[in-house]
Every structure is written in C-alpha cells, then in structure tokens.
Amino acid sequence: MKITDLKVLMVNNFMYVRIHTDDGLTGVGECGAWGFLDAAAEAVRSFKTYLVGQDPLQIEHHWQYMYRSFHFRGAAVMGAISAIDIALWDIAGKFYRAPIYQLLGGKCRDKIRVYYHVGGATTEELVEQCVKAKKLGYTAVGHLSPFLDEPRSNAYFETGAQRINRAVDRVRQIREAVGDDLDLCLELHRRMTPAEAIVFAHKVEKYTPFFLEDPIKPDNFDAMALIANRINLPIATGERIHTIQEFEMLLSRNAVSYVRTSVCVCGGITGARKIAAIAEAHDALIVPHNPLSPVSTTACLHIAAAVENFAIQELPDHDGPAATERFVFDKTENIKALKQSDIVTAIPPCRDGFIALPEGYGLGLELTDNVEERFPYKRKEVYTRLNTDGSICDQ
C-alpha cells in the first residue's frame, strides 16, 4: 500500500488533512495550530513531497522523518505533522480493521470521563452555565474562567485586590450552586503574575478546584515550578508547547500535575503517546487539550482509552461554533451559524459525564461530503484585548 495524495481541507475555522492510498483507504486528521492554519497548510504541502509514494503504515518512521528533516519547528509545523499523523493512524486502523486505541495496546477503560465547557461575561452567566452542566449530567466543568469571558473589545482594568477577590468569590458562588457534584477545572488564561497566582491559589483552595490551568504565561518553566511548589493545588499546563523535551522539562521541575497535551499540535497520536509515557514516569496525569472539532475530539478519545495515566477529557459543545470562536472572539461576524456535528459522520454521545469508546475502524468517523463548499474557510484575524492603558491583556 502506498500514499497517492495528501489534500488540505480548510473548513470553517478548522483545517483537516485527508490522505489517500492506492488501495482506496483514506485517513483524516486535524491541525490544532488554530491561529495559523494557513501556515500549517503550507507545511503539509511541503511534507506531501516526501510522503507521496511512501507506505502509510510506517507511522513512527514518517513522524521522525518529518520532525527531524528540517532545523525549524514551531506550532504551525507541529500542527501539520499532527494532522498527518492522525490521518496515518486512521488509515492503519482501517487496514488492520481495528480502532486506533486497539493498535496502541488496547483499552485501559470502558468509558471516558469528560468535562463540559462553560463560560460567561458575567458572574450570573457563569454560575448558570455550571448549574446547566450539572443538570445535563456532567461531573466536571472546564474552560471555567473566574475572571470571566468578557468581550475583547472592552478595555480591562481592576486593582490587584479586585482581580483576586472577585475571582475567588465567583468560585465560591459556583461551588455553593453546584455543591460537590461538579469538579471545577479553573482556566486562569495566563492572567496573573507568579506572586498573584500564589495568593489566588491559597484563597481559592477551600473551594477545592480540580486544578488551576495556566495561571501565568506558560513559557517560563521555572516560574511555573515556583508557583507549583508554593501552593496546595495541582497545576494544569502544556497546551501551548509541542515537543517531548519541553514536557520533560516541565515535569522534571515538578511544575505540572495535569499535562495538557494538544494532540493536534504536539505531534498527533504518536506525539501524545510519547508525552503520556513521560508523564507516567513522573506520576502525572494527562488531560488532552481540545478546543477544536469532532475530529480532534475523537483522536483525543483514542488516546484517553489507551493511556493508563489519563484523568479527564476536555469536551467542547459540538452543537455550535468552535470553542476558539465562542471564547476568543466577540465580534458577531466571527461567530458563524455552525453545527459542528454537520462536518462529520458521527459524534460519540455523552451520558452522565462519560463518553463511550469510539466505534469502528481507525478514528471511527469521516468528514461529510463537500465540507469545504458547505462551510467556507475564513482566516483568523489578529484581535486581542487591551488594558485601559493600551497594553496587552492576556485573556
């Protein structure tokens, strides 16, 4: 069996790769470099010159070849490798007539715990979303920003005391509204300095968050370790890094308890499996990052099924637009009337906060017909929030 073609499909706010073979098998994968999909698409087209004519089942060799063939990497390049890798695993599953998780060593669990995305521009909206998640049967909520998901067009200012105490009080209100029936995965979105994060963690500790995600900008592993070693709550981070060496540096510093592997950026299923093994050696758990489409979700589910040190899976609402659109942008022209389930042939149902293992061979889903024409692509614009003094606000 040989690869005959690689096609890039730009769909709404997503980028897919479809790989074709000479015996009719095809595979699909998704790129997670959502801010730079056009750059990632060009990287895929470069890798195509190598992959056409190759055996698609030599997945590890192709991963190493693409990863090491140039002296430059980065999110766009790794997003391209990730999409290709997922598509190759999809083909392998179809060839061997097995789900991908079976090829990874078999299942470690019968169903996969997920957390539901919540958000709100006001405290009332945020509490309401958490109560809704509980009524829907979820046992955990995530993307839960105690700093709110306010419009990026609004200039930001709070005093240090207001920022910390208002955020802590929102967590209090949520905990009182839902009791202990929901785990609260707090997404801090890099909004704090290390000193502020330490103060916040000690104040919010009594409400038992599941973890604190990205309290500071994730670039400085030593700063993240400083926080982790001075608080009593676990830190989740890793969605913005993409090499096994970066994750090893984080873990060796005891800077992370829940490793946020971006399966569609960190090297696909192959890369995520490597990172999970490193995390296991450090007694850390993985929480796959997933703000993307059902293709990404399904790839994550195969990792979650096969990896022993899995904690919980991020699950966006696939009945609406991409999470990156709903939570990152507030301009109405960016929020498209899209039902993500229309992009693919199957979405695993969620019941009582768990999703059953993916069914079928390979990933277990396909893109629907003519998705590019039905859901035209639009390039992401550069658009972020500012503080009242004109400086950049991380949100």
Task: Verify whether residue 189 is a known catalytic residue.
Answer: yes
Q: Where are the beta strands (DSSP E) in the chain?
A: 3-11, 14-21, 26-30, 111-117, 140-144, 183-187, 211-213, 235-237, 258-259, 285-286, 313-315, 350-351, 354-356, 385-386, 392-393
Q: What are the residues whose beta carbons fall under 8 Å from the beta carbon of 283, sequence distance 6 or more?
A: none
Which one is catalytic: 189, 202, 242, 302? 189
- Give the span between the Cα atoms of 305 and 344, in whole angstroms: 21
Cα distance between the two ends of the chain: 47
Short-list 373, 188, 265, CA closest to 34: 265
Task: Verify whether residue 289 is a known catalytic residue.
Answer: yes
268: tokens are 């696909």
Short-list 328, 341, 369, CA closest to 145: 328
Short-list 4, 3, 35, CA closest to 15: 35
- Cα 152 from chain centre: 21
288: tokens are 């796959």
Dihedrals phi, psi of 222, to nearest 5 degrees: -65, -40
Which one is catalytic: 143, 289, 302, 318? 289
Q: Which residues are catalytic?
A: 189, 289
